[in-house]
A and B are shown apart, each in its own frame.
Chain A
Amino acid sequence: MSGAEMTSDPWLILLVIVPLLAAPVCVLLRSATGAWSVATAVAWSVFAISLKLLDTVMDQGVVRYRIGGWDAPWGIEYRLDSVGVFVVLIVSAIAAVILPYAKRSVEKEIRKDRIYLFYAMLLLCLTGLLGITVTGDAFNLFVFLEISSLSSYVLISLGTDRRALTAAFRYLIMGTLGATFYIIGVGLLYQTTGTLNIADLKTIMPAVIDTRTVHAALAFLTVGISLKLALFPLHMWLPNAYTFAPGAVTAFLASTATKVSAYILLRIIFTLFGDVDLFASFPLQPILITMALAAMFLASLSAIWQENVKRMMAYSSIAQIGYIVLGIAMATETGLTGGIIHMFNHALIKGSAFMAIGAVVFSTGAVTLTQMEGIGKRMPYTMAAFVIAGLGLIGVPLTPGFISKWQLVTAAMELNMWPLAALILLSSLLAVIYVWRVFEVAYLRPAPEGAPAAQEVPLSMLLPIWVMVLAALYFGSNATFTLNLAHTAALQLMGGL
């Protein structure tokens, strides 16, 4: 605690303040281009800030900021450790890449007079996601959770298809349930302990863990967050939301929102309840592993049967969340590292995939397999990006998916869970099937009669896609940096640091 007074890093609060204040600026500007420029500038500065924070965290371990100068646990403390900074980096990097891409895509998909509102919402969503990761206060976390959720409902409902409205509404119901469960859990904890500071709760927890209230709180917290995380079988809101949302929104949410929810789950299990051995006193591990495996297999099987490629990738996301949760559930150094690094790797892979599909929708309107026949010839660069992303989902070497699988299978072997090791690999074979369905249609079927010869998207969309793909290939062939970061985070969560 002694470090708290000494270091109070203002960059931490700027991470949240900048996008929060920029959102009303977008509304005031009332101009599509103006709002986009502000949002892009914000995303890039947030990314720069998070790089700076990464540097500080790697140097000092933990960065803090006391809101209003009040010390924790009375005041709200912002607190960023290596776990948080990894997630902050994911969110801000994805935002920085997607915003340039969004410009043309949004112009086409959203009514012109609503575009500035779109960017305001996107900035609020960014605020919420970043806020969740930097706050050290359980109630403050709820506030940011709601900010990000409410703005994402709006973002999804802006999709051109009218089914986007029902999808957003469904997400709203499920999301609100999740958030309510979370706040009930926090309320129960507050009632028992009298504090909302996460670090404070952690130290008090061993004294109160054997009460029925805390057990109930744990149940509410985990189920509530599993809803937001779309952990099988609480994933029902996700496929429609991702399918009907505007292309840029799907790409953004798929690579960030679920990762942040996974981060909350990590915080609950390893920080809030970090000083009590949850895995010994509750059957948490078998439950989480079962859910994760069910997600990996059932969602992948669903993905295989999808005609709509966006929906296929949405189901694939549910399966990939399974990998993340599996890593968390193994609760060993290696397993956690695997789960955490897959948050990053999957963000890159799925971001690329959804951006590529968004580009196809942008220039041809095609989103089902039948409509995408022969698209490989007409949009060679976009589809090449999609193929690489697809190989990443399978886990082919040189893609980051390979690194994740390497780590997760190693973790399973270390625990002597041989069937689990085999099942992880088996489930990636299901990815081969759905990825190859798209591949066959795109490259081996002739284009429909009268289709234009070339329909490649403008450079402003192609470039961000390839930035993401090349980043994926880089972190797939040179994973030392990301693995070390994830490993440090895992150690911190396990209490070894």
Chain B
Amino acid sequence: MLFAFLSEAQAIKLAVLLPLIGGLLVMWMGERNRNLREAASLLTAVLTFALVASLTGEVLGGARPSVDLFTMLPGLSVTLTVEPLGQLFALIASGLWIVNTVYSIGYMRANKEGNQTRFYVCFTIAISAAIGIAYAGNLLTLFLFYEVLTISTYPLVTHAGTPLAIRGGRVYLGILMSTSIGLLFLAMLWTYNITGTLDFVEGGILAGQIQGPELAVLMFLYMFGIGKAALMPVHRWLPAAMVAPTPVSALLHAVAVVKAGVFSVVKVIVYIFGLDFLNQAHSVDWLLFIAGFTIIAASIIALRQDNLKRRLAYSTVSQLSYVILATAILAPISVAGAVMHIAAHAFGKITLFFAAGSIYTAAHKTEVSQLDGIGKRMPFTMVAFGIGALSMIGIPPTAGFISKWYILTGALETGEAFAILVIVASTLLNAGYFLPIVYRAFFKDQQPRPESDPYAKYDNHGEAPIAVVLALCFTALGTIALFFYPDVPLALGRALVGG
């Protein structure tokens, strides 16, 4: 074993610290030595992933290693505990970080972005926060890293420094901060006041402590307090975040930040409320409807977006609610499906964003209507895009099929007709906004831009830089691989619900 010399506790601590150490290295190298700086980023990502991966075996074996970092309030520590769901999230975030770093190097250099050191440093803090969320052993720890993630990604969203970026940043920060401080903080304190603990416990801590309308209100505070899960109407920060450079949209706003949101939702429902408790109390059925509504409404909005990244953003809003819907079905099998969907969507959506960034880098095109015939010029990018799109729709042989299968099974088992209806309708809508893009790219002829267009000179483009293409091919293959080998995420999902 690579990390055999570390004790479990040290390994867990280091998983959160390693990205930060990498960040310091990156800061130290700065603009003076860009190659070394990028090498430091990449090395940190690889080491972090290796470290996280080394913990998988034990978790699958039933161990729940835990370590206290410091005592913030009397009786309340900041604690890291590795459990199945968190392990999966940490694996996804740190694993895709490697791919994303490769992609970033290609993208940021090709587009001559400024402030690259700040960019990489903030990225490392964000990843550290994501792993902190994943391994949070109690709600306080989760809240802490959740806020760190919001703040560290703000400079990434406003990276361009344009008035548009600043406006986007305000919406981003405004919604995420007001929901977390206004609602989530309140929910956390409420929970602490009635239960005297904030630990994530199997079976939940709230059973028998709260009921009726109060339970519904508390659930409301949690679900909308976790703004990162983008339940409507607190989803607007996500499209606003699309002003960021594409690597940020890809890893953070398709994977780390949004998955932190739905991850927190699953964690709160499973470990704070408890599935059995919620099954007996019917006061939270509304969650199913809100999630269903978000899935459909976001898909309809996505249909009407011409900007590719905005279309992908609304698709993310819709896909996130799949996870919430699956969890709200409250059947163990659908919760396992929710966990699988976190993994499946991560691979699919990062591929789609990588492709969008690749198109922007090579052709300087951002709108769907400009993409006629682009598949012939950028075959790798667009085939990868197609694979990502298939996974979003849920067509084999892609990962999205597996997760939808599990969610549907759960819905059938519990007889949730509404959930089934939503899944079927949204599958059609997904096809409706993804397939036309693929069709345009491969079956229509390119429309040259008028001479007056400053980007017309890019019309005769080829593929994006090699680092970009490599990254997106890798994640596209990953989307397919996850269909054939879904064992790890499924095993972790089953371990979560004790199946």
Contacts and interface: CB of A to CB of B under 8 A. Distances in A.
Interface of A: 391, 394-398, 403, 405-406, 409-410, 413-414, 421-422, 425-426, 428-429, 432, 436, 440, 443-446, 477-480, 483-484
A479 B70 CA distance: 10
Contacts of A397: 72, 140, 143-144, 147
A479 B148 CA distance: 19
Contacts of B177: 394, 429, 432
Nearest to A428: B181
A484 B75 CA distance: 12
Given A413-B189, A414-B193, A436-B173, A479 B181 contact: no
B181 A395 contact: yes
Interface string B175-214: 0011001100110011011000000000000000000000
A410 B194 CA distance: 11
A71 B144 CA distance: 53
B81 interface: no
A444 B161 contact: yes
B25 interface: no
B30 to A, nearest CB: 12
Contact of B193 (A395, A410, A480): A410
A37 B402 CA distance: 73
Contacts of A395: 181
B185 A479 contact: no
Interface residues of B, number: 31
A421 B173 CA distance: 22
A445 to B, nearest CB: 8
**Across chains A and B, which 5 residue pairs bring their CB atoms closest together, nearest first?**
A397-B144, A480-B74, A413-B193, A429-B178, A444-B161
B158 A406 contact: no
Contacts of A436: 170, 173
B166 interface: yes
B2 interface: no
Nearest to A410: B189
Nearest to B75: A480
Interface string B41-84: 00000000000000000000000000000111110001000000
B72 A479 contact: yes
B395 interface: no
Contact of B166 (A406, A426, A428, A444): A444
A432 B174 contact: yes
Which among B71, B155, B174, B177 has the greatest number of chain A C-beta atoms within 10 A?
B177
A428 B147 CA distance: 14
A39 to B, nearest CB: 36
Interface string B323-359: 0000000000000000000000000000000000000
Contacts of A479: 72-74
A396 B73 CA distance: 14
A320 to B, nearest CB: 16
Given A397-B143, A432-B174, A440-B166, A477 B190 contact: no
A413 B72 contact: no
B189 A396 contact: no
Nearest to B194: A413
Contacts of B161: 444-446
B419 to A, nearest CB: 33
Nearest to B186: A425
15 contacts: A394-B181, A403-B72, A409-B185, A413-B190, A413-B193, A422-B182, A425-B182, A429-B178, A436-B173, A440-B166, A440-B169, A444-B169, A478-B72, A479-B74, A483-B73
Contacts of A484: 74
B256 to A, nearest CB: 19
Contacts of B185: 405, 409, 425
Given A396-B151, A406-B189, A480 B181 contact: no
B215 to A, nearest CB: 15
B186 A409 contact: yes
A480 B174 contact: no
Nearest to A480: B74
B475 to A, nearest CB: 31
Contacts of A478: 70-72
A409 B73 CA distance: 14
Nearest to A439: B154
A421 B186 contact: yes
A483 B165 CA distance: 41
A406 B173 contact: no
A406 B147 contact: no
Contacts of A425: 181-182, 185-186
Nearest to A407: B73
A443 B70 contact: no
B116 to A, nearest CB: 15
A414 B192 CA distance: 11
A396 B145 CA distance: 10
A443 B151 CA distance: 14
Contacts of B71: 478, 480
Contacts of A477: 70, 72, 78
Nearest to A445: B161
A422 B293 CA distance: 28
Contact of A426 (B74, B140, B182): B182
Interface centre among B72, B148, B174 (most CB of A within 10 A): B72
A398 B144 contact: yes
B181 to A, nearest CB: 6
A107 B339 CA distance: 62
B471 to A, nearest CB: 29
Contact of B73 (A406, A414, A428, A440): A406
A436 B174 CA distance: 10
A422 B185 CA distance: 10
B163 to A, nearest CB: 9
A284 B158 CA distance: 47
Contacts of A443: 155
Contacts of A422: 182, 186
B189 A444 contact: no
A446 B143 CA distance: 33
A409 B74 contact: no
Given A405-B185, A426-B182, 8 more contacts: A397-B144, A410-B189, A414-B193, A429-B177, A432-B177, A440-B166, A477-B72, A478-B72
Nearest to A396: B147
Nearest to A413: B193
A480 B71 CA distance: 7
B68 to A, nearest CB: 12
A256 to B, nearest CB: 26
Contacts of B140: 397
Interface string B25-39: 000000000000000
Nearest to A446: B161
